[in-house]
Amino acid sequence: MGETLGWWGVPLAILGGAIRVGTPLLWVSLGETVTEKAGRINLGLEGTLLMGAMTAYAVALSTGNPWLGIVAAAVVGTLFGVLHGALCSLTRVNDTAMGIALMLAGSGLAFWLGKPLIQPSAPDLQSIDLGGWSAMPAVQAALAINPLFVIGVLLAFAVYWAFGHTRVGLRLRVVGDSENAARAFGLSPSGYRIAATAFGGACAGVGGASLSLVYPGAWSEALSSGQGVMAVALVIFARWDPRRCILAGLLFGGASAISPALQAMGYSSGYYLFAALPYVLTLALLIGLGKPGPSDGAPGELSLNR
Amino acid sequence: MNTLAAPAVNVAPPLGERLAALFDNLVPALAALVLTVLLFSVAVALAGFDPLEVWGLILMGGFGDAFAWQNTLQRAAPLILTGLAVALPAQAGRVIIGAEGALVLGGLAAAALGNLLSAQAPPLLLWPLMALAGMLMGGFWIGIVGWLREKREVNETIASLLMSFIAIALFNQMVETVLRDPASLNKPSTRPLADNYLLPAMPGLDVHWGLGVGIVVAIVAWAVVKLTPLGLSLRVAGGNPRTALGVGLPVSWLTIGACAAGGACAGLAGAVEVAAVHGAANASLIAGYGYSGILIAFAARFSPAGVVPVAVLVGGIAASGSLLQRRLGLPDASVTVLLGFAFVALIGCETLRGRSFWRKG
């Protein structure tokens, strides 16, 4: 691609990469936003993500239909979410610690069950080609948008709308902001939190499916490089606003795409340093933004902020 | 998250209270053990293996004979230190999960210093220097996390994990470029230490001195935390920061210090792995010891001394992985599943603590 586009290939590859790499981040951070809006934090999404990726790949492989794989990933993610949500509803069970535990259990389980999946190749999800007008393969590659990104964007707006306009959305926010207020309304905080964590798990499962079925599009034990945890930080960056999860996903997807884009141009000397960029950026944002308060949309019951 | 820290003040209670307290500690632990055994047995059975055979192999592979013990203790050495890396910040109420990064950078610093000085310094001088380099590097790395927590209110759990990813990227970059041994072709490494610079086995044991170092550090950490005024201040700061500030304790610096001390332990683990096992810094250093340390510290209820037996247990389970794979073809990830189940059961069974139904009145 270097011959036809020259250095223009870099920003183009970064844009394409931002969408490809950003899709799982968008899904995971969107789900975690809902979980955290209900006052819980689930640090175990890394494990859920890997379970989702493995499940999606296995189901797509055996049925030949990637969409079934995505549904299966969402189901497994929901189960993990319910598990986290229900266990954390017990007294004296700390949600941060349970998240770390489920991260370990989920990734171990995914690696165990995924062992036979490393060799065979499952059908990938067909992308929506927006680059058909161009003859250049680099442009076509960059504009081949995966449908999960599109669905994720629509879902983000839907969740945003639901937070402000639906009974469930408003009640969820009450539960997340003040348990006492929720009880006064006769709401069950545990029920809402379990449901919100289940939704977060389902989204993380789909995020995992986008890793194994879209990009990189295969199952391996090195599939996730901490996206599940980065997403938790991205929620803070997104200020608990589902719409900003899209921006966060794209920004951090783009940062992750710089390193492979430069390598494709023949610049491989700083490969690992560029690979650290998304983490540095996430950390810099956490530092720059300081402690989020209620005016930033931070849920009052979140242990992260207390 | 302050609830994670150990209770701050020890006042000798009457015998009945102490028995109840003992029971309080015993019941959740036993319940977690039973639950773990049940869950893993079911998982193994579902995968088509005989649970009894698997448990037998785990016991054999971890603790069955002298060779198994050697393997187990060899793994326990870094695990004690990474367990401390989580347990020490927890005294100040901070949950650090990024020991892996401090470990690899500590190992890198030790390897770099070892390469630099091995022509001039004899082994007995070089080893402490390498240990110091690893501790400084690891302490600096997690110290940053503590500092960010105290000065910028950045959540330390997330920050420490991000710092861990950054550390691993830095490590890979250095090992592949500046510090790379041109002779290491397939697996980029730093230049290996000469054989006489490798940490020898402890007398009477086939296990390197790293184990002794780990145990000594754990005992010192326990003594400082439990017996000294510094340790008491630290636990007050972690248990009730407002009280601590009220009596004039430097809460911020205690917290940052505890994080740095934890990081130093992880860095020392890296230095020990380089000096005793790998002889150089390479990808073998990224073995997940940092993550196992989280489980170990939680299981030991953040007691620096309790970390030692738990690390031996976890080391044994990890050591049995290769036997399971050889004998039954069970993937080595099954060991991670076992540890993960144990972790989930352990945190979940906390709910049994302090329940009134086994306390009289």
Domain boundaries, chain A: 13-117+142-291
pLDDT at A2 over 50: no
Whether residue A272 and residue B173 make contact (CB cut-off 8 A), yes or no, is yes
Pairs of CB atoms within 8 A across A/B: 138
Measured between beta carbons, the chain B residues lying within 8 angstroms of A98 are 344, 347-348
Per-residue model confidence (pLDDT) at position A296: 79
- Give the CA distances from residue B109 to residues A219, B8, B104, in Å, rounded to whole numbers and listed in that order: 34, 36, 9
Tell me which of A89, A112, A113, A280 to substitute to probe the interface with B (most B C-beta atoms closer than 10 Å): A112
Measured between beta carbons, the chain B residues lying within 8 angstroms of A272 are 169-170, 172-173, 176
3-state secondary structure of A134: coil
Is B97 an 8 Å CB contact of chain A?
Answer: yes
- Per-residue pLDDT, averaged over A17-31, amounts to 93
- Rg over alpha carbons for chain B, rounded to the nearest Å, is 21
A242-264 and A9-37 helices, crossing angle to 10°: 150
Residue with token string 């187990």: B72
Q: Is the domain defined by A13-117+142-291 classed in CATH 1.10.3470?
A: yes
Count the alpha carbons within 13 Å of A83 in the hemisphere toward its beta carbon.
24
pLDDT at A8 over 50: yes
State the Cα torsion A85-A87-A90-A96 to the nearest 10°. -80
User: Does the ipTM surpass 0.85?
Assistant: yes
Structure token digits, residue B274: 């380089």
The domain of B134 spans: 80-300
Q: For residues A222 and B46, what is the distance between their CA atoms, to the nearest angstrom?
A: 26
How far is the alpha carbon of A290 from chain B, nearest alpha carbon, in Å?
6
Per-residue model confidence (pLDDT) at position A225: 80
Q: For residues B208 and A121, what is the distance between their CA atoms, to the nearest angstrom?
A: 44
Whether residue A273 and residue B344 make contact (CB cut-off 8 A), yes or no, is no
DSSP string, A236-262: HHTTT-HHHHHHHHHHHHHHHHHHHHH
Question: Residues of B numbered 142-161 whose beta carbons fall under 8 angstroms of chain A's beta carbons: which are they?
Answer: 148, 152-155, 157-159, 161
Peptide bond into A299 cis (omega under 30): no
Measured between beta carbons, the chain B residues lying within 8 angstroms of A269 are 177
Q: For residues A139 and A124, what is the distance between their CA atoms, to the nearest angstrom?
A: 20
Measured between beta carbons, the chain B residues lying within 8 angstroms of A275 are 169, 172
DSSP code for A117: G
Question: Residues of B numbered 337-356 whose beta carbons fall under 8 angstroms of chain A's beta carbons: which are they?
Answer: 337-341, 343-344, 346-348, 350-351, 353-354
Residue with token string 């389980």: A109
How far is the alpha carbon of A162 from chain B, nearest alpha carbon, in Å?
28
Spans of chain B, pLDDT less than 70: 1-12, 355-361
The residue that leads in pLDDT, B204 or A60, is A60
Measured between beta carbons, the chain B residues lying within 8 angstroms of A102 are 340, 344
Structure token digits, residue A149: 């990104």
Q: For residues A111 and A50, what is the distance between their CA atoms, to the nearest angstrom?
A: 8
Buried b (16+ CB within 10 A) or exposed e, A8-36: ebbebbbbbbbbbbbbbbbbbbbbbbbbb
Measured between beta carbons, the chain A residues lying within 8 angstroms of B159 are 283, 286
3-state secondary structure of A122: coil
Q: For residues A288 and B16, what is the distance between their CA atoms, to the nearest angstrom?
A: 52
Residues B307, B87 contacting (CB under 8 angstroms): yes
Q: For residues A176 and A179, what is the distance between their CA atoms, to the nearest angstrom?
A: 7
Measured between beta carbons, the chain A residues lying within 8 angstroms of B350 are 92-94
Is B42 an 8 Å CB contact of chain A?
Answer: no
State the Cα torsion A259-A261-A262-A268 to the nearest 10°. 60
Is B291 an 8 Å CB contact of chain A?
Answer: yes
- Residue B220: phi, psi to the nearest 5? -60, -45
Element (H, E) at A144: strand A144-145
CB atoms within 10 A of CB B124: 7
B71 within some domain: no
Structure token digits, residue A193: 């939190």
Measured between beta carbons, the chain A residues lying within 8 angstroms of B343 are 100-101, 104-105
Whether residue B170 and residue A276 make contact (CB cut-off 8 A), yes or no, is yes
Measured between beta carbons, the chain B residues lying within 8 angstroms of A232 are 158
The residue that leads in pLDDT, A229 or B174, is B174
pLDDT at A105 over 60: yes
Nearest to B1 among A96, A102, A276 (CB): A96
3-state secondary structure of B180: strand
Dihedral angle sign, alpha carbons of residues B12, B15, B17, B21: positive
B58 within some domain: no
Whether residue B161 and residue A229 make contact (CB cut-off 8 A), yes or no, is yes
- Give the CA distances from residue B85 to residues A270, B106, B146, B254, B263, in Å, rounded to whole numbers and listed in that order: 30, 13, 13, 15, 6
Measured between beta carbons, the chain B residues lying within 8 angstroms of A304 are 155
Whether residue A100 and residue B343 make contact (CB cut-off 8 A), yes or no, is yes
3-state secondary structure of A183: helix
Per-residue model confidence (pLDDT) at position B38: 97
Cβ-Cβ contacts under 8 Å for B44 (sequence gap 6 or more): B50, B51, B54, B330, B334
Q: Number of folded domains in chain B?
A: 1
Tell me which of B148, B151, B162, B174 to substitute to probe the interface with A (most A C-beta atoms closer than 10 Å): B162
Q: What is the chain A residue with the closest CA to B338?
A: A105
Per-residue model confidence (pLDDT) at position A215: 84
Nearest to B333 among A108, A225, A280 (CB): A108
Residues B155, A234 contacting (CB under 8 angstroms): no
Whether residue B157 and residue A96 make contact (CB cut-off 8 A), yes or no, is yes
Dihedral angle sign, alpha carbons of residues A175, A180, A182, A187: positive
DSSP string, A30-49: HHHHHHHHTT---TTHHHHH
What is the separation of C-alpha A121 from the centre of its chain, rounded to a whole number of angstroms?
23
Per-residue model confidence (pLDDT) at position B11: 60
B308 within some domain: no
B20 within some domain: no
Candidates A113, A111, A117, A105; CA nearest to A47 is A105
Measured between beta carbons, the chain B residues lying within 8 angstroms of A284 are none
**Which of A53-57, A70-74, A177-181 shows the lowest mean pLDDT across its residues?**
A177-181
